[in-house]
Amino acid sequence: MLKEVEMIKSGKKLKDYIAEDIRFKLVINGKSFTFRISPMLKEEFVIGYCFGEGLIEDLEDFKEIKIEKNVAKVKINIKKRKLSKINSDLVVSYKEIIESMERLKNESETWRKTGGVHISAIVSGEEFILVEDINRHACIDKLLGIALKRSLKFSNSYVVCSGRLSEGRVKKIIMAGVPIIASMAAPLFSGIEYAKKYGLTLAGFVRNGKINIYSCPERIRNEV
């Protein structure tokens, strides 16, 4: 994922590390989509994209997945799921969200070295699954793909991430049934509106020991 390149800084030739990206083609039942993503976790991206877009309910809806280099061809039983109100009893503390965000930053090597990727993690009990990707949407897709393959219970999980919480990212989280998402960055109005409509706890600006909660605050206890 890291590529070493040469650069000139203050008149000196130095080496630098840059995040690698690829053009990835996904063909779903003959229909093509093109993405710019990081090169790893291609199958997880395919699975997570289909799941987050509501095209499948579970892994059994895949009839075939073929990946050759940067092209994936899949055949699925399309379900066309619709967004529904999140049903979860999950409650976490401010401290847990803040500690998970710090862990995310500390364990994200490419993010720390390059600043050129987005990062996200899903936390479910003792599980802490981290993903880095140059595409903030693909970062969530890959996370959902891994979680689906590991049979995580989404209603008992929460996501911490970098990047703005837009309508597109928030809809993927709602589609999965994850009750809480927290970003170190700002939300967008469209993201907040969807979060309120479907009962998602959305938090932003998780940094320096502080959290801004924009919807469904009852899931995050005011304890540090």
Share the mean pLDDT of the chain: 96
pLDDT given at position 7: 86
| pLDDT tier for residue 105 given thresholds of 50, 70 and 90 | very high
pLDDT given at position 97: 98
Polymer length in residues for the chain: 224
Bigger pLDDT: 112 vs 26: 26
| pLDDT tier for residue 224 given thresholds of 50, 70 and 90 | low
User: For 21-51, what is each residue's pLDDT tens digit?
Assistant: 999 999 999 999 999 999 999 999 999 999 9
Of 71-75, 110-114, 154-158, 160-164, the one with minimum mean pLDDT is 110-114
Mean pLDDT, residues 92-102? 97
- DSSP state at residue 157: -
Q: What is the Cα–Cα distance from 93 to 182, expressed in whole angstroms?
A: 12
pLDDT given at position 12: 86
pLDDT at 147 over 90: yes
| Sign, CA torsion 184/186/188/193 | positive
Q: Which two tokens stand for residue 69?
A: 């280099």
Going by C-beta distance under 8 Å and a sequence separation of 6 or more, which residues neighbour residue 21? 36, 37, 38, 39, 134
Domains, the chain, in order of start with CATH, read: 92-221 (3.40.140.10)
Percent of the chain with pLDDT over 90: 88
